[in-house]
Structure 1
Amino acid sequence: MSEILLHYTRGGKIEDIHRGDIVAVDIKGNIVDSIGDAQRNMFWRSAAKPFQALPFVRQGGLEKFGITQKELAILVSSHSGEPMHVELIESILGKLKLPLTALECGPARPMSSKAAKVLTENHQKPEPVHNPCSGKHSSMLALCRMIGVSIEGYTKPEHPVQQIMHQSVAKAAKIPEGELEIGIDGCGVPVFYLPIYNMALAYARLAVPQKGQWGEDEAAIRKIRDAMIAYPEIVAGTGRIDLLVSQITKGRIIAKIGADAVYCLASVEAGIGITFKIEDGSYRAINPAVIGILKRLDLITKAEHEQLLEKFPPVLRNHRGDQIGVIETVF
C-alpha cells in the first residue's frame, strides 16, 4: 500500500499530502530500500524509453544512418520542445529520408514554457515534432528502416517494431515477455505495465552495463547510458530536475521522468536503480521526492543536496511572492 511521502503546509498546518511507492534495487536484484509496495504494478510510461531504443542501437542503426551521440540522446528523451530538440528530430528524420509528417505521436505543446510562448508569438501551432515523445517515435521509425519494414501502422501493438520493443523491454526488466502487459500511452504507442521493482532493476543494469548481464546487448546499452550522461539537456530540457541532477552530480546520477509521476534514477557509482510512483500522478511532487530519495540513500553530497534545494526550494509562495508554507519530505 502506498505511504505518505510529502506534506504541503499552509500556516503550519498540513493542507495536502502525496502518497507513493519507492524502491531501490542493486545490480544483483537485491532491494536496497523501499517505501510502500516495492512490487506495485504500474505503467512505466516514458521512463522505459532507453530500453525501447536498444534494438535499433544493437543492430547497428547508429552506424548505418550516421546517428550521433547527441541524436541518440533525443531518441530516449522526454524533451522540452526547445529549438535544440526540434533540430535534432529534424536531423534524424532527414537521415532516415522521412518527412516530419511521418511522426504519429500527435501535436503537443512544448514542455518548455519559453518554447511554447515563442510558438504563440509567431502564430504557430504545436506540431508532432514538439511532442516530448517525438524522439521515441523517431527511434521507432528508425527501427522500421533498419529492419526493412513499412512505417505504416508503426504505432500499433501488432507492428513488428512494437513486437521487438516489447521483447527488449521485457528482457531489460527481467520479466517474462508474456507477463509484460500493455496499455496505450499518451503518444499512441504501447506502454508497459509491470512492477516498479523490475523498472528499478533495469535502471540498475543500465547504470553499470558491464555488471548487468546484458550479453549481446551490453555494448548497445553502454552507448545509451553514455549518451544520457553526456547530453542530459537533450534527454530532458532547460531547468528541469532530470537535467540538473545529472549536471550537479557530474553524471553520477541518471534521471528519467515518465508521465503521471513515475520516475526512474540510476546511480552509476553505486550500481543502484530507483523507481518511484506518486499515487495521484502529481508532477509537483516529483522534485521534492527526487531530492529526498537521493539524500535518503546518501547518493549525493551535502553540497549537492544544497544545490538542488537552491534550485528547487521546498517552500510555497502565493501570487505576491510571500512564503505561505513549506514542502515537507516525510520519508
Structure 2
Amino acid sequence: MSGPIRATDVEQLATASRNGFIENRFFGSAVVVDPEGIIIAGVGDPSAGVYGRSVLKPFQAIASLRCGADLAGEGLALAAGSHIGSPWHQDIAADVLAQAGLSAADLKCSAVYPSSASQVAAAALQMAPIPLERTPLAHNCSGKHAGFLAAMVAAGADPATYLDDDAPIQTEVVRVLEQYCETSITHTGIDGCGAPTPVTTLAALARGFGRLGRAVHDRNAELPAAMVARAMLDYPEAVQGQHRSDTVILESLELFTKTGADGIVAMAAPDGTAVAVSMIDSTHRATHLVALVLLAQYAPDAVALDAMSDVVEHIAPPIYGGNQRVGGIKLSPAVLKLLK
C-alpha cells in the first residue's frame, strides 16, 4: 500500500454535461481484477490506501457468522447492507437483537430518523398519534451493529465492548479482511457509525469482492461467505432499499455489489471478476456506472445486456431541465480506453 490517495494519482473517470456543456467532472481511481485476483485493468492508483467504509459490511457479516451469530435471510442481508431505515428495516434489526436477548438500547450507532423524507413520513404515519422519535434502529448501519452484538453474545463476550478494537468480533473482522482481500491491515479508523473501519487498497477490496462474488457457486467457498452472498442476492431490498442502486443491481443483474460512504463501491460477477471504484470528491453520481460498465467489459457473460440499459438509466439518471432531458453522465476517455 502506497499510502493515502493523492490528487496527482487520480484520473477523470466521468463527466456530467448539461446542454452539451460539461458542468461536473468526477475524478478517482478504478481497478478490475480477474477471478484469480490479478489486476487486469486500472485507472488512477489502485494501490493507494482507502477506507472501505460500508463496502466492508459483507466481510464484517462473515466475521459475525464465524463468531456464532444466528443470522440468516433478511437479517443477514441487513447485517451486510446499508439500509434506508424504513419501519421494515428497523423491525429486522430489532428481531436480530431480540434473538440475542438484546434490544435497541444496546446499539451504539447514533439515533436518527429514516434516511429519506418518504420513509420519515411512513414511519410517522405508522407511529401516529405518538410523535416520531430518532432511533438507532433507523441508522443505516443498525443491521451490522445488530450482527456484531449477536456475535459477541454467541462468543460469550461482553456485548457492551463490541466496538472495541480487541473485541472478538473486531479481531475476527481483521482476519476475514486479511484472508479474503489478501492484504495486511496496518491502520484502522472509526467509521461514521462508530465501528472500526480498516484501510485497504482499492485492489485489495476488488480481490475480496471477487471471492465473495463467486462464493454462491464455488463448492470450495467458506460457508459464511456463501451465506452472505446468497442472502444479499435473495433479499436485495434489505441491503439498501427499493429503487436504490445496490438493490437495483443485485435484483436486476444479480451482481454482487456494495456501496460505501464517500464515493466508494465494489462489484463482482459470479465468476470472480471484480471492480472497485473510489471517487476522490466523495460523490456517488458516477461510481456505479463506472463499475458496471467495466464489469460488463471484463465479465461479459455475467452481465445481461438486455437488462443493463434500464439499470444504467437508474444508477446514472439523465439530467433534466424542467421536463426536458438536457444531458447526462458520460465515461471519460481514460475509462473508455479500457473498453476493448
SS of 2:160's partner is coil
Write the distance in 1 (CA, Å) between the matches of 2:57 and 2:304: 29
The one-letter code sitting in structure 1 at the alignment partner of 2:235 is: Y
Write the distance in 1 (CA, Å) between the matches of 2:34 and 2:150: 32
- Establish whether residue 311 from structure 1 lines up as the match of residue 319 from structure 2: no
SS of 1:57's partner is helix
1:239-266, Cα deviation, whole Å (9 max, x unpaired): 01111112222x2x11111111110111
- Establish whether residue 72 from structure 1 lines up as the match of residue 76 from structure 2: yes
Instruction: State the match for 2:132 in structure 1.
Output: 124
Taking structure 1 as the reference length, the TM-score comes to: 0.89
Aligned residue pairs total: 318
Tell me whether 221-230 or 6-15 shows the greater mean CA deviation. Answer: 6-15
Instruction: State the match for 1:205 in structure 2.
Output: 211
Superposed displacement of residue 314, structure 1 = 4.1
Question: Is contact 1:112-1:238 (8 Å) kept?
Answer: no
Q: Name the CA shift for 1:312/1:42 in 2 (closer, same or farther; >3 Å).
A: closer
Write the distance in 1 (CA, Å) between the matches of 2:289 and 2:273: 20
Question: Is contact 2:79-2:144 (8 Å) kept?
Answer: yes
Instruction: State the match for 1:234 in structure 2.
Output: 238
One of 165, 173, 176 as aligned partner of 1:168: 176
Q: Name the CA shift for 1:100/1:279 in 2 (closer, same or farther; >3 Å).
A: same
Tell me whether 144-153 or 184-193 shows the greater mean CA deviation. Answer: 144-153
Write the distance in 2 (CA, Å) between the matches of 1:150 and 1:58: 17
The one-letter code sitting in structure 2 at the alignment partner of 1:307 is: D
Tell me whether 119-128 or 179-188 shows the greater mean CA deviation. Answer: 119-128
Question: Is contact 2:87-2:123 (8 Å) kept?
Answer: no
Write the distance in 2 (CA, Å) between the matches of 1:219 and 1:171: 15
One of 145, 169, 186 as aligned partner of 1:180: 186
Instruction: State the match for 2:293 in structure 1.
Output: 292
Write the distance in 1 (CA, Å) between the matches of 2:316 and 2:272: 28
Instruction: State the match for 1:46 in structure 2.
Output: 54
Write the distance in 2 (CA, Å) between the matches of 1:166 and 1:287: 26
- Establish whether residue 276 from structure 1 lines up as the match of residue 277 from structure 2: yes
Q: Name the CA shift for 1:108/1:292 in 2 (closer, same or farther; >3 Å).
A: farther
Question: Is contact 1:205-1:212 (8 Å) kept?
Answer: no
Tell me whether 110-119 or 129-138 shows the greater mean CA deviation. Answer: 110-119
1:82-135, Cα deviation, whole Å (9 max, x unpaired): 122111111111111112110001123323432123345654133110011001
Write the distance in 2 (CA, Å) between the matches of 1:77 and 1:100: 18
SS of 2:12's partner is strand
Percent of aligned pairs with the same amino acid:
26
Pairwise CA RMSD of aligned residues? Answer: 2.1
Question: Is contact 2:55-2:264 (8 Å) kept?
Answer: yes
Superposed displacement of residue 192, structure 1 = 1.2
The one-letter code sitting in structure 2 at the alignment partner of 1:301 is: A
Write the distance in 2 (CA, Å) between the matches of 1:279 and 1:296: 23
Question: Is contact 2:34-2:40 (8 Å) kept?
Answer: yes
Superposed displacement of residue 51, structure 1 = 1.1
One of 244, 266, 269 as aligned partner of 1:267: 269
Superposed displacement of residue 52, structure 1 = 1.2
Question: Is contact 1:292-1:329 (8 Å) kept?
Answer: no
Superposed displacement of residue 165, structure 1 = 1.9
Write the distance in 1 (CA, Å) between the matches of 2:295 and 2:37: 19
Q: Name the CA shift for 1:120/1:276 in 2 (closer, same or farther; >3 Å).
A: same
Question: Is contact 1:206-1:212 (8 Å) kept?
Answer: no
The one-letter code sitting in structure 1 at the alignment partner of 2:319 is: L
Write the distance in 2 (CA, Å) between the matches of 1:154 and 1:139: 10
After superposition, where does 1:12-23 map in structure 2 within 5 Å?
12-23=20-31
Q: Name the CA shift for 1:108/1:289 in 2 (closer, same or farther; >3 Å).
A: farther
Write the distance in 1 (CA, Å) between the matches of 2:257 and 2:117: 21
Write the distance in 2 (CA, Å) between the matches of 1:25 and 1:313: 23
* Structure 2: gaps spanning 5 or more residues: 1-8, 336-340
SS of 1:257's partner is strand
The one-letter code sitting in structure 2 at the alignment partner of 1:244 is: V
Write the distance in 1 (CA, Å) between the matches of 2:23 and 2:218: 45
One of 326, 331, 336 as aligned partner of 1:329: 331
The one-letter code sitting in structure 2 at the alignment partner of 1:236 is: Q
